Amino acid sequence: MSRKSKQTKKSTNGAEIGRRSFMGTLAAAAGTSAVAGTLSPFAASAKAETVHFASNTPGMGGGGPFRAEIDIRDCDVEGEIPSNIDGAFYRVGPDWQYPPMQGNIPFDGEGHVSMFRISNGHVDFKSRYPRTQRFKAQAAARKRLFGMYRNPFTDDPSVKNVSRGTANTHVVYHHGLLFSLKEDSPPVAMNPLTLETVDDYYTFGGGLHSLTHTAHPKFDTATGEMISYGYEAKGMATDDIYVFSANTKGKITWETWIKVPYVGMVHDFAVSQKYIAFLVIPMATNVERMKQGQVHFAWDSNLPTWFGVLERGGDGKDVRWFKGPERCATHVMGAFSDGNKIYVDMDMALKNQFPFFPNLHGEPWDPKSATGTLHRLSVDLSDKTPRDYNMEELYPQSGALPRQDDRYQTIPYRYGFMPTSDPTRPLNAKLGNMPFRPTNSYTKFDHATRKTSEFWVGDDSGLQECCFIPRSKDAAEGDGYLVGVANRLLEGGRADLIIVDTQRMEDGVIAKVGLPFRTYSQVHGWWVPAYALPKT
Ligand SMILES: [Fe+2]
């Protein structure tokens, strides 16, 4: 791929700087013009500062940062990978580049993308850090330059005009590019075959008019569109959401702006054929705390939730906000509309689900009220009087990170999948008393019958997010495989990629791909079939 990086850069505070001045910023920070990948080990910037990760570094409970970029041709495969699995499974998660600021949270590590390329029963593994502006600046300086999670007040002054984006949350594929995403910044575009970064600040050819971009765009299979948004879109703590869609060539063909009732986390959204919906939760942006050196968010239990709906393709003036009680919900399994009604399925909990984001009013973090289950939110837009949205708990299983057969995004769907914690399953006695029980199951949900089926990983392992692979291009909805990483807890968390047949969940793993190490934790992943990948 010969796509060139953009020549214009935009900082998180909106100041435009040219590539030349951006490189100048790096040079000033480093005392050299070198960038990552070409750095001399004896660059002038190298000071007598050691790089050491303290044992209390966030995320060290999993064994510490991974930090290695790996290539393995022909991974170890146990079992038989079905020949109809041909494509690439991408995953991304935070992996500290340098020791973080004291008190920072695990989700602020630099994004690290890995790819399992599966074809004809063979699996090649590759991992690369996206070369974000932040990664390059820190590599040149040989130290951390960015402070707390989404808090520019804590940064080194030398990176005032460098994008803070870590690209650590989700990885998706559209118009031939792999996008590594963090919701506080525009996408970072990568070559899907080599994982080379091709644009560290992707703006859809200059068409993106937001300073931010969600980690959770949606895809309309019928049109090939990517529908997406950015919140805090005009800069830190602004109450603007920018909504847009891009066609199959990456050209933005529709955009609009709306205002939110209050500024807080809008991590995911819902898209149906007719509507777009957002849920604003009490994870409120708190600038005063940021000025005191804290992270971007704090949970304000005095705030309600707001469910906002606007027509897709419209001018945004029709947006209506429906009130709900204090709840925490971050991820959408699926969404669809029926006439003037919209339905959105999310995992939802009573209170703050993130122990590292503080409760503003001093309440202790409560793991019980943080336990999420699948809920269906709905409103009828033809009713001009409703003030609350409807909320129904669909299943008792607790979990997070729900997924669906992604071919059914935006349309009525029947099947969903979610990593769940089954409390009836045993835990290996050798694991002792763990502070949190590992996620031990993948559950398949059938919304037509409300029945579930479960894959259990065993008593010695924990599961990361799963991703659905259709059995064939035209396979029926939900007919295929789940793929995800299992950590072997009695082996220091060593990672296996496991493959499960969605028609035989209880039968267990049909094939596993063994990695000879413990890799970093994934936030989200994405499957791209071989026919959709570029040839070279
Ligand atoms: Fe997410």
Q: Give a yes or no: residue 508 inside a domain.
A: no
> Residue 249: is its pLDDT beyond 60?
yes
Confidence of residue 174 (pLDDT cuts 50, 70, 90): very high
Shared domain check, 222 and 195: no
Shared domain check, 230 and 169: no
Name the DSSP class of 438: P
Burial of residue 110, with CB atoms counted within 10 A of its CB: 0-12 exposed, 13-18 middle, 19 or more buried: buried
Helix 19-30 vs helix 133-141: crossing angle, to nearest 10: 30
Provide the pLDDT for residue 60.
64
Q: Give a yes or no: residue 137 inside a domain.
A: yes
CA 433 / ligand 1 centre spacing (Å): 29
Q: Give a yes or no: residue 108 inside a domain.
A: yes
Provide the pLDDT for residue 414.
98
Provide the pLDDT for residue 31.
28
Q: Which residues pair with 278 in a beta bridge?
A: 269, 308
Mention every residue, 6+ apart, whose C-beta is less than 8 A from residue 64.
53, 57
State mean pLDDT over 291-315.
Answer: 98
CA 247 / ligand 1 centre spacing (Å): 23
CA 35 / ligand 1 centre spacing (Å): 30
Alpha-carbon span 307 to 215, nearest angstrom: 19
CA 263 / ligand 1 centre spacing (Å): 18
Instruction: Name the nearest CA neighbour of 518 among 473, 487, 497, 472.
Output: 487
Instruction: Name the nearest CA neighbour of 73 among 27, 30, 116, 107.
Output: 116
CA 346 / ligand 1 centre spacing (Å): 12
CA 385 / ligand 1 centre spacing (Å): 32
Q: How far is CA 420 from CA 366, 397, 440, 487, in A?
A: 19, 7, 7, 15
Shared domain check, 238 and 171: no
Q: Give a yes or no: residue 111 inside a domain.
A: yes
State mean pLDDT over 379-399.
Answer: 94
CA 404 / ligand 1 centre spacing (Å): 14
Confidence of residue 61 (pLDDT cuts 50, 70, 90): low
> Residue 2: is its pLDDT beyond 60?
no
Provide the pLDDT for residue 196.
98
Q: Which of 81-95, 289-303, 430-444 has the lowest mean pLDDT?
A: 430-444
CA 452 / ligand 1 centre spacing (Å): 23
Shared domain check, 394 and 300: yes
CA 215 / ligand 1 centre spacing (Å): 6
State mean pLDDT over 309-319.
Answer: 98
**CA angle, 233 as apex, 232 and 239 as ends, to 5°?**
45
CA 180 / ligand 1 centre spacing (Å): 12
Number of domains in the chain: 2
**CA angle, 88 as apex, 211 and 131 as ends, to 5°?**
40
Give the residue carrying structure tokens 């970029």. Answer: 69
CA 94 / ligand 1 centre spacing (Å): 12
Which pLDDT tens digit goes with each residue over 230-241?
A: 999 999 999 999
Which pLDDT tens digit goes with each residue over 468-488?
A: 999 999 999 999 999 999 999
CA 348 / ligand 1 centre spacing (Å): 13
CA 69 / ligand 1 centre spacing (Å): 23
Of the three residues 413, 448, 476, the one that is the final residue of a domain is 413
CA 268 / ligand 1 centre spacing (Å): 7
Shared domain check, 247 and 197: no
> Residue 5: is its pLDDT beyond 50?
no
Shared domain check, 245 and 104: no
Question: Quick one: CA torsion of 385, 388, 394, 398, rounded to 10 degrees?
Answer: 170
CA 228 / ligand 1 centre spacing (Å): 14
CA 42 / ligand 1 centre spacing (Å): 39
CA 214 / ligand 1 centre spacing (Å): 9
Shared domain check, 385 and 265: yes
State mean pLDDT over 334-353.
Answer: 98
Provide the pLDDT for residue 49.
77
> Residue 146: is its pLDDT beyond 70?
yes
> Residue 456: is its pLDDT beyond 70?
yes
Shared domain check, 296 and 187: no
State mean pLDDT over 520-531.
Answer: 96
CA 331 / ligand 1 centre spacing (Å): 6
Of the three residues 202, 234, 251, the one that is the final residue of a domain is 202
State mean pLDDT over 389-415.
Answer: 97
CA 525 / ligand 1 centre spacing (Å): 10
- Mean per-residue pLDDT of the chain: 91
Which pLDDT tens digit goes with each residue over 177-221?
A: 999 999 999 999 999 999 999 999 999 999 999 999 999 999 999
Q: How far is CA 172 from CA 119, 181, 182, 511, in A?
A: 20, 8, 12, 24
Q: Give a yes or no: residue 419 inside a domain.
A: no
Which pLDDT tens digit goes with each residue over 24-46?
A: 322 332 222 233 333 433 344 54
Provide the pLDDT for residue 44.
47
Shared domain check, 215 and 263: yes
State mean pLDDT over 486-507.
Answer: 96
CA 169 / ligand 1 centre spacing (Å): 6
Domain containing 80: what range? 1-202
CA 419 / ligand 1 centre spacing (Å): 14
The sheet that has 480-488: what strands, in order across it?
A: 76-79, 509-514, 494-501, 480-488, 461-470
Of the three residues 202, 229, 245, the one that is the final residue of a domain is 202
Burial of residue 232, with CB atoms counted within 10 A of its CB: 0-12 exposed, 13-18 middle, 19 or more buried: buried
Provide the pLDDT for residue 251.
98
> Residue 7: is its pLDDT beyond 50?
no
CA 465 / ligand 1 centre spacing (Å): 10
Q: Which residues pair with 177 in a beta bridge?
A: 174
Q: Give a yes or no: residue 438 inside a domain.
A: no
Provide the pLDDT for residue 43.
46
Q: Residue 355 corresponds to which tokens in the numbers above?
A: 């122990």
Q: Give a yes or no: residue 513 inside a domain.
A: no
* Residue 461 near residue 489 (C-beta atoms within 8 A): yes
Shared domain check, 219 and 115: no
Q: Give a yes or no: residue 91 inside a domain.
A: yes
Alpha-carbon span 498 to 510, nearest angstrom: 8
CA 182 / ligand 1 centre spacing (Å): 9
Provide the pLDDT for residue 480.
98
Shared domain check, 229 and 357: yes
Question: What amino acid is encoded at 435 in this protein?
Answer: P
Confidence of residue 10 (pLDDT cuts 50, 70, 90): very low
Shared domain check, 195 and 48: yes
